[in-house]
Amino acid sequence: MFGGIGVVLLVNLIGLVFHGVGFNPLVDGWLAVLSNWAAVVLVWLAVNRVRLTRPDILLAAAAVTALAVGDTAYRLLPDDAGAELIPSLADTCYLMFYVFMVGVLAVIAHRGLRAQGWPVLLDSAVGALGAASVLAVLLSPALETGGPFSVTVFLSMAFPVLDLLLIAALAGVAAIPGRVLGRSGLLLTAGLLLFAGADTVYAGQAQVESVLIGSALTGVWAIGFALITAWVLAAVRRRTVPEHSSITAVADGTVYTATSVAAPMSATAAALTVLLLASQTHVSVLAVGLAGGTLALAAIPLAFRQRQLHSLSRTDDLTGLPNRRALAVDVAARLRDIDARPSALLVLDLDRFKEVNDSLGHEAGDQLLGRIGARLSDALQAGDLLARLGGDEFAVHLHHADRKRATAMARRLRLVTARPIVIGGLSLEVGLSIGIALAPEHGSDLSGLMRKADMAMYTAKSSRVGQHVYSPGDDSNDEARLRTLHELRIALAENQLVLHYQPKVHLATDTVPGVEALVRWNHPTRGLLYPAAFLDVAENGGLMRTLTRVVLELALDQAMLWQAQGRTVTVAVNLSSRSLADYQLAGVVTSMLTDRGLPGSALMLEVTEEFLLVDRDRARNILLRLRNAGVLIAVDDFGTGYSSLAYLRDLPIDELKLDQSFVIPMLDDDRASALVASSIHLGHSLGMRIVAEGVETAEVLQQLERFGCDVAQGYQLSRPIPAAELERWLDARTALPAGMRAIR
């Protein structure tokens, strides 16, 4: 769309450069009009994306259309010289532009001012008056020029005034906290400023001579028109202000940001400048009056504004909750109270929040944090203190709370956050891990309680119990976690990770088309470690991306060696949701394959249902890029998540891996057996291969063959083994009679 706006701007500028002196019907007339209407078409196509859900966009589109109609009439219709007292069609449409734009700003202001107090309205008024005083100075020559009355002259004077009022209103809206305009508001501001400048010059010229189409003024109007149109298109792409956007709140319920402080302060400085200028030279009465009104309003809440600045230093911008600094001051005061009864400090951490950030983007993550903060706040009782520590961590200090109340409150907080939250049309469910430290049992100062609550929180997260009260054993667990994280960094740098491979047997042909690569850590002192010992540490310690790339390199190096030996084996690698959400993944994988001379089919990536369901559009984009490189895609642990037939239809998936929780009990559980059989039928109907994991007995293997399962994998066939041992297994298996291979 922005390319279309560039064309609009370019076409209008052509009318100034190449047509020569005077009005050119082709360039200044039809070509300029067509470019304007092309912009209108773009705007209404954008409106169609949001339909009737965004009244501000609908009104903005009407404003752009009014400009286009006015320009068309101004350029193509003849002047009506006898209608001095009747506005022309062009002037009427231009006036409607201002009416629609006032409606746009009113909608935006109403949305931004919800649940906010009178100080915010006062800040907006100060910002508006300050901007108006400056613009009144700039427009003084046009506003004070005399001449015979006519509608044309009157409107030439009215348009700069309307520009002034519109920009003043825009400044007032900009003073509203929460970034209601966003960065795209600069486009609107620039467009209106160009209109104001051009209208000011026009007001002066219109009283002494006619203004020719094709002059520099029409070029300035054209650029302003293009900028305003670009703002509409940008606003369509920008979501409405979230329920809990980048906003700061204090105890009285009033909402602030740094912008709400900076805007009125800037307006006050501008008003002082206007008054100083008036003492040195002639300035219109209107400008002086507006500047005086600005200072009068700004002087009312000086004491209040000092309180506001103090509140800003203690409040989290994103959620409006007290920040770490406020927590430290307030809890320290509570703990020093000589009459203080037992209390509890809870450290809360969202489970797998980083996956939301990686999959949906930081804006969605910010909205999620705001909504979670509001839920936590509603669940607490009077006297309890909730603060955001940073990232996805919160802290709660429960006043007058023993172990029983602390654990009960932890359960309550986990319940309120477990309810689905809709962000960007997607229903998200997030968990909460809570660590609890009790005062004075576990400490009498905030730093000690915070450290022990944090250790308890990590224990709750790693053990997946949800909540945990600190115990002395957590000290050793915390030390072990930090030591493991440090040693894992060294392991990644010194190539201590190795891969074991578990074969996947094709049941119909009794061949081995592929293997699954499973990572192990060859620890120098602790021996061979399995993934459960270090994957959570890597995930929480920010090492998962590096670990994933190391595993891919090891797997593809081995695939290259097998290719050189004449073994056609696809190597499957498991990827976490965070690794899959990495937009660089497809490029990295493609480069790895190319560097080793491997076809894409040498690699299969096993993904989880959860990643496919969180953001299907993003998953489709990433998986299609991998598919275009020839890489195969499998869905691991199929049936254990919130399965949806839609993603099986829409996404490029080659293989479904039935989870062992269905396969292992299938002989003794008719329902598990039915699920396996129906899943095999479903996969085949969609053109996918079915792999059964956890095949541990010959009887299960025979049942899978009767159900028509394609591939089996499990201890009945082979455990995960090193590459050299796998090669010996493959060679020995090839030498066996076909009937003996399955039970080896």
13 falls in which pLDDT band (50, 70, 90)? low
Residue 653 has pLDDT above 80, yes or no: yes
Mean pLDDT of 104-129: 63
pLDDT at residue 35 in the model: 75
Beta bridge partners of 447: none
Mean pLDDT of 173-202: 70
Number of other CB atoms surrounding residue 621 within 10 Å: 12
Please give the structure tokens belonging to residue 727.
């090669």
Mean pLDDT of 109-136: 62
One DSSP character per residue, 640-699 reads SS---HHHHHHS---EEEE-HHHHTTTTT-HHHHHHHHHHHHHHHHTT-EEEE----SHH
308 falls in which pLDDT band (50, 70, 90)? low
Residue 612 has pLDDT above 90, yes or no: no
pLDDT at residue 339 in the model: 58
Residue 375 has pLDDT above 60, yes or no: yes
Mean pLDDT of 523-531: 90
Please give the structure tokens belonging to residue 131.
């901007």
Please give the structure tokens belonging to residue 84.
């001095």
One DSSP character per residue, 327-351 reads HHHHHHHHHH-TTPPPEEEEEEEEE
Please give the structure tokens belonging to residue 549.
């790339």
Report for 50-54, 76-80, 420-424: range of highest mean pLDDT:
420-424
- For residues 256 and 179, the answer to whether their CB atoms sit within 8 Å is no
So what's the architecture of 496-737 in CATH?
Alpha-Beta Barrel (3.20)
603 falls in which pLDDT band (50, 70, 90)? very high
Could you tell me what percent of the chain has a pLDDT over 90? 20
311 falls in which pLDDT band (50, 70, 90)? low
Lowest average pLDDT, out of 17-21, 215-219, 544-548, 689-693, goes to: 17-21
Report for 177-181, 186-190, 230-234, 414-418: range of highest mean pLDDT:
414-418
Mean pLDDT of 45-71: 80
CA 587: distance to chain centroid?
A: 23
pLDDT at residue 739 in the model: 54
Lowest average pLDDT, out of 341-355, 375-389, 707-721, goes to: 341-355
Please give the structure tokens belonging to residue 692.
């059964």
pLDDT at residue 427 in the model: 73
Q: Which residue's entry shows tokens 């915390």? A: 478
Q: Note the pLDDT tens digit of each residue in 474-491.
A: 665 666 777 888 899 999
Residue 91 has pLDDT above 70, yes or no: yes
190 falls in which pLDDT band (50, 70, 90)? confident
571 falls in which pLDDT band (50, 70, 90)? very high
Residue 214 has pLDDT above 90, yes or no: no
- For residues 272 and 126, the answer to whether their CB atoms sit within 8 Å is no
Mean pLDDT of 622-628: 87
β-strands 570-574, 603-608 pairing: parallel
Count of residues making up the chain: 744
CATH level 3 topology of 314-471: Alpha-Beta Plaits (3.30.70)
Number of other CB atoms surrounding residue 557 within 10 Å: 15
CA 303: distance to chain centroid?
A: 37
Full-model pTM = 0.47
pLDDT at residue 51 in the model: 63
pLDDT at residue 58 in the model: 85
Report for 111-120, 161-170, 271-280, 428-437: range of highest mean pLDDT:
428-437
Residue 112 has pLDDT above 60, yes or no: no
What is the three-class DSSP state of 322? strand
Residue 156 has pLDDT above 70, yes or no: no
pLDDT at residue 554 in the model: 95
Could you tell me what percent of the chain has a pLDDT over 70? 70
The pLDDT mean for the chain works out to 77
302 falls in which pLDDT band (50, 70, 90)? low
408 falls in which pLDDT band (50, 70, 90)? very high
743 falls in which pLDDT band (50, 70, 90)? very low
Helix axes 55-76, 216-237, angle to 10 degrees: 160
Q: Of 654 and 111, which is predicted with more confidence?
A: 654
Residue 64 has pLDDT above 60, yes or no: yes
d(C-alpha 714, C-alpha 469), whole Å: 39
Give the closest residue to 489 by CA, choosing from 531, 576, 573, 550.
550
Residue 248 has pLDDT above 50, yes or no: no
pLDDT at residue 270 in the model: 76
pLDDT at residue 139 in the model: 59
Question: What do you get for the CA distance between the two ends of the chain, in Å?
Answer: 63
Lowest average pLDDT, out of 82-96, 327-341, 445-459, 666-680, goes to: 82-96
d(C-alpha 288, C-alpha 292), whole Å: 6
- For residues 474 and 455, the answer to whether their CB atoms sit within 8 Å is yes
